[in-house]
Amino acid sequence: MPQTAATHTFRHLKTVHILKNLATKPVDLTVEGVLSSERIERYCAQSSEFKLLYGTERVTDDVLQALKELAHEARLVEKMEAMQRGDVVNKIEGYPSESRMVLHTAMRDFFMHPNEGDNAKKAAKAEKKECDKLKDFMAKIDAQGKFTTLIQIGIGGSDLGPRALSVAMHAFRKPGRQVHFISNVDPDDASGILQQIDPKRTLVVVVSKSGTTLETLTNEELVRSRFKQAGCKPEEHFISVTGEKSPMDNPSRYLASFYMWDYIGGRYSVTSMVGAVALTFALGYDQFMNILKGAHEMDRLALNPDIHVNLPLLGAMLGIWNRNFLHYQTVAILPYSQALLRFTAHLQQCNMESNGKRIDKKGNPVDFDTGPVIWGEPGTNGQHSFYQLIHQGTNVVPVEFIGFRESQYQEDLNIQGTTSQEKLLSNLFAQSIALAKGQKNDNPNKVFPGNRPNQILLAKRLDPFTLGALMSYYENKIAFQGFCWNINSFDQEGVQLGKVLANKIIDHFKSKRQGKKSEKFPEAEAMLRHLETL
C-alpha cells in the first residue's frame, strides 16, 4: 500500500513510476544533432559562484520535470529546512540510535543571519564563542612568531576534510606556514611527518570528539614522545579539539582546547573547530571566514524551492536519475584543478559513509539502490590512467567534472599559442563531449559507445569563498539524496563492527606480550598464526 511522503519508501512514490518508464528509452546523445550547442546552452543552471552544465547527462525536459516533481513529492527542501533549523533528523525510528540534530550548517551561520530555529541559533552562538577564542589564540601565536608548522592528528572526518581544504588552499597560505596531517595508525605515517618538522617550531592539534579514538590517541602518544626527545614540553605545543569535558579537555596536557559538538558528524565537521584551527593557522582568520561565507551562501541556496536555482538539489536529482533509473553503480568525481588533489577522497567519505545504507529510517531493509561508489583523481592525470575504462569499458561510469576559468596562482605562459589553463580546460570540455557523443568507426578498437553521462561544475577561480561553496554544494547534495531515499545519512554504524573486533585482537596482542590468556577468537587466531611464519 502506498505510503505518504512523510514515511515513504522510495519505490512507492508516484513519480518513481513515471521515471521508470522514461528510463526505458533515455535520450541517445550519440545521435547526430542531439548534443547541440542549443542543448548545452539550455541545460545549464547558475547560482552563486557556479554554473552546472548538464546537457551531457541523459536527460530530457520530461525527465527533468519528473525529477522536479519527485523532489517535491519527497519534500526534499522541507527536510533540508528541518535539518538546518535543528530538528532531530539523525535517528532510526523505533530502534536505539544517535537521535541527534544535524547542525553543521550552523557552524557557518553565526556571522550572517542565523536560522529561525532556536536549536540552530544556539548552535551558531556556541560556535561563535569558539571562533572568538580561536581568533584571540591565533593572534597571540602570530605575535609570538614562534610557530611556523602545524600537525593535525585525527582520522576519518578529523583528517579528510581538513586535509582536502588545506591542500586546496595552499596558494593562499600565509608566508612561512606549513600544515601536515597524521591519520593512519601505521607508525610510518607519523614517522614520515616527524622527519620533516622542527618540534620547537611546531604546534600539534589533536582531534577527537570523544577523546578516546584509538588511532588518534596512539599517534598522539607517539608524537608526544618525539617532542620530549627533542627537549620540548608537549603541553606547550599541543592543542585539543574535542567534546567539552572529554578526557582531552585537559589544560594540564594542552596549550588550548576548542570544542566540537555531538550534532556535528565527523565528515561534515570541517567548518567547525575540526578544520578551523589548522585552516586559520595556515590562511589567517579572515580567509577561514571566507570559507565559511561561501559555505553559508550555498546552504541558503539549498533552501530555495526552485530546482534551477538550488544547485545541490539539481545535482542530487541528476544523481538519483543515474543511480536508481539508469542503474549506474559508481560516480567518478574528476576535478580539473591540482589544488583539489584530496577533495575526491573527502567526498568519498562524505558520500559513502552517509548514504552507504541498507535500511530506511524505520529500520526496514530497502529494495532499491542507495549510495554509489565514489572515486576519482584530478584531470588531466586521470586521462592517462583510468579514462580508458570510462570511455570504452563495459561499465558505464557517470562523471562529475569540476573546473575553473582561472588558475589559483595566475602564473601561466602562452606556449604554442595557448596558456596551460586553456589547455587544461580544453581537455575538460573535450572529455565531456567525447564521453557523451562517442565515436563510430569501422575499426572496432576505435569505437567509443558514448552515452556516458557527465556534468560539469564550473566557477571562475578556486579561492576560499568558492571552496567553501563547493564543499557545501556536495554536503547538501548528499543530504538531499539521503532524504529522497528516506535513509539516515548522518550515522555510521558500518564502521563499528570492525572497531569492536579490532579491539579484541589488540587485547590478544597485549595479553600475549604479558604472558596472559586472552578471550578466545578462533578466526583471528588463525590469521595471526600466519604472522608467526613470516
The pLDDT > 90 percentage for the chain reads 89
Angle at 125 between CA 123 and CA 131, to 5 degrees: 105
Say how far apart CA 426 and CA 444 lie, in whole Å.
26
Say how far apart CA 482 and CA 475 lie, in whole Å.
11
Three-state SS at 439: strand
Position 1 pLDDT exceeds 50:
no
Tell me the pairing of strands 50-53 and 238-242. Answer: unpaired
User: What strands lie across the sheet with 178-182, from one edge to the other?
Assistant: 178-182, 149-153, 202-208, 238-242, 256-259
What are the pLDDT digits (tens) for 245-285?
A: 999 999 999 999 999 999 999 999 999 999 999 999 999 99
Say how far apart CA 493 and CA 353 lie, in whole Å.
9
CA distances from 419 to 406, 412, 415, 423, 424 (A): 11, 6, 6, 6, 9
Quote the pLDDT of residue 247. 96
Mean pLDDT of the chain: 95
Say how far apart CA 363 and CA 386 lie, in whole Å.
38
Q: What is the mean pLDDT of residues 439-461?
A: 98
Position 507 pLDDT exceeds 90:
no
Three-state SS at 282: helix
Extract the C-alpha cell encoding 459. Answer: 566557477
Quote the pLDDT of residue 297. 97
Residues 6+ apart with CB under 8 A from 48: 294, 297, 298, 301, 311, 469
Say how far apart CA 438 and CA 449 lie, in whole Å.
5
Quote the pLDDT of residue 53. 98
The residue assigned the cell 584543478 is 337
What are the pLDDT digits (tens) for 150-180?
A: 999 999 999 999 999 999 999 999 999 999 9
Band (pLDDT 50/70/90 cuts) for residue 182 is very high
Pick the closest to residue 98 from 479, 503, 493 (CA basis): 493
What are the pLDDT digits (tens) for 192-212?
A: 999 999 999 999 999 999 999
Quote the pLDDT of residue 516. 80
Pick the closest to residue 267 from 374, 352, 359 (CA basis): 352
Three-state SS string over 167-191 comes to HHCHHHCCCCCEEEEECCCCHHHHH
Q: What is the mean pLDDT of residues 435-443?
A: 98
Angle at 261 between CA 255 and CA 267, to 5 degrees: 100
Q: What is the mean pLDDT of residues 123-131?
A: 95
Three-state SS at 225: helix
Band (pLDDT 50/70/90 cuts) for residue 3 is very low
The pLDDT > 70 percentage for the chain reads 97
* Structural contact between residues 459 and 340, judged by C-beta atoms closer than 8 angstroms: no
Band (pLDDT 50/70/90 cuts) for residue 126 is very high
- 224 alpha-carbon distance from chain centroid: 30
Cis status, amide bond into 105, omega within 30 of 0? no
Residues 6+ apart with CB under 8 A from 440: 30, 447
The residue assigned the cell 535543528 is 86
Q: What is the mean pLDDT of residues 55-61?
A: 98
Pick the closest to residue 264 from 375, 156, 117 (CA basis): 156
Strands (E), 201-346: 202-208, 238-242, 256-259, 330-335
Say how far apart CA 387 and CA 389 lie, in whole Å.
5
Quote the pLDDT of residue 111. 65
Quote the pLDDT of residue 8. 65
Position 515 pLDDT exceeds 90:
no
Position 4 pLDDT exceeds 70:
no
Q: Annotated catalytic sites, by residue?
A: 353, 384, 499
Q: What is the mean pLDDT of residues 328-339?
A: 98
What are the pLDDT digits (tens) for 369-423?
A: 999 999 999 999 999 999 999 999 999 999 999 999 999 999 999 999 999 999 9
What are the pLDDT digits (tens) for 27-47?
A: 999 999 999 999 999 999 999
Tell me the whole-structure pTM to 2 decimals. 0.95
What are the pLDDT digits (tens) for 69-119?
A: 999 999 999 999 999 999 999 999 999 999 999 999 999 998 655 455 689
Sign of the dihedral defined by the CA atoms of residues 456, 314, 348, 356, in that order: negative
Strands (E), 9-68: 44-47, 50-53
Pick the closest to residue 207 from 189, 227, 182 (CA basis): 182
- 408 alpha-carbon distance from chain centroid: 21
